[in-house]
């Protein structure tokens, strides 16, 4: 027997075995295998479609995030500008209030000085009047007899005591 040339009987039984196996596989295993392969193919297609949709959604979210970041930066800049303006306004208002308070204090001080000055002048006038009365009494006592001499003395004393 030669191993290279097959026997006709062996070929027949191999073919019959193969046909029976093929028939059994086709009847019982082919549909589930093909169904499983089709299901797997469908689930792969769905996974790819889902991945593509997720990729697009991610791109949209990234674009939205960039837009939101730009808006937030712009809003932050506006808020910072408003805060700087408010700070400058508050400083200016505080300076104005301080200037007004200082001006009021100066005005009050000037009014107080003027009042004190008027009071001092009035007191000085009172003292001058009192001094004049004392001088007149002395003149009257010493020069009661001579009226011309008395008038001359009062005029000289009043001429010496002049007010500004």
| Residue 19: predicted pLDDT | 95
| Residue 117: predicted pLDDT | 92
> CB within 8 A of 158, min separation 6: which ones?
132
| Residue 30: predicted pLDDT | 84
pLDDT at residue 11 is higher than 90 = no
- pLDDT, one tens digit per residue, over 20-45 is 998 998 888 888 888 899 999 999 99
Tell me which range, 4-13, 45-54, 133-142, is most confidently predicted by mean pLDDT.
Answer: 45-54
- pLDDT, one tens digit per residue, over 55-93 is 999 999 999 999 999 999 999 999 999 999 999 999 999
| Residue 129: predicted pLDDT | 83
- Is 0.75 surpassed by the pTM of this model? no
**Chain-centroid distance, C-alpha 117:** 52
Work out the angle between the directed axes of helices 147-160 and 31-142 (0-180°, nearest 10): 160
The Cα–Cα gap between 7 and 23 comes to 24
pLDDT at residue 126 is higher than 80 = yes
Least confident span in 15-24, 90-99, 105-114, 129-138: 129-138
């Amino acid at each position: 027997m030669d191993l290279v040339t097959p026997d006709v009987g062996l070929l027949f039984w191999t073919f019959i075995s193969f046909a029976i196996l093929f028939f059994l596989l086709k009847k019982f295993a082919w549909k589930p295998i093909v169904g499983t392969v089709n299901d797997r193919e469908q689930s792969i297609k769905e996974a790819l479609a889902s991945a593509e949709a997720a990729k697009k959604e991610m791109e949209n979210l990234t674009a939205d995030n960039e837009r939101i970041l730009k808006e937030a930066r712009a809003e932050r800049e506006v808020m910072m500008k408003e805060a700087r303006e408010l700070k400058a306004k508050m400083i200016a208002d505080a300076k104005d209030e301080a200037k007004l308070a200082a001006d009021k204090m100066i005005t009050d001080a000037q009014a107080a000085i003027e009042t004190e000055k008027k009071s001092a002048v009035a007191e000085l006038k009172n003292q001058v009047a009192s001094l004049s009365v004392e001088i007149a009494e002395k003149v009257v006592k010493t020069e009661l007899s001579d009226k011309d001499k008395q008038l001359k003395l009062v005029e000289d004393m009043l001429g010496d005591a002049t007010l500004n």
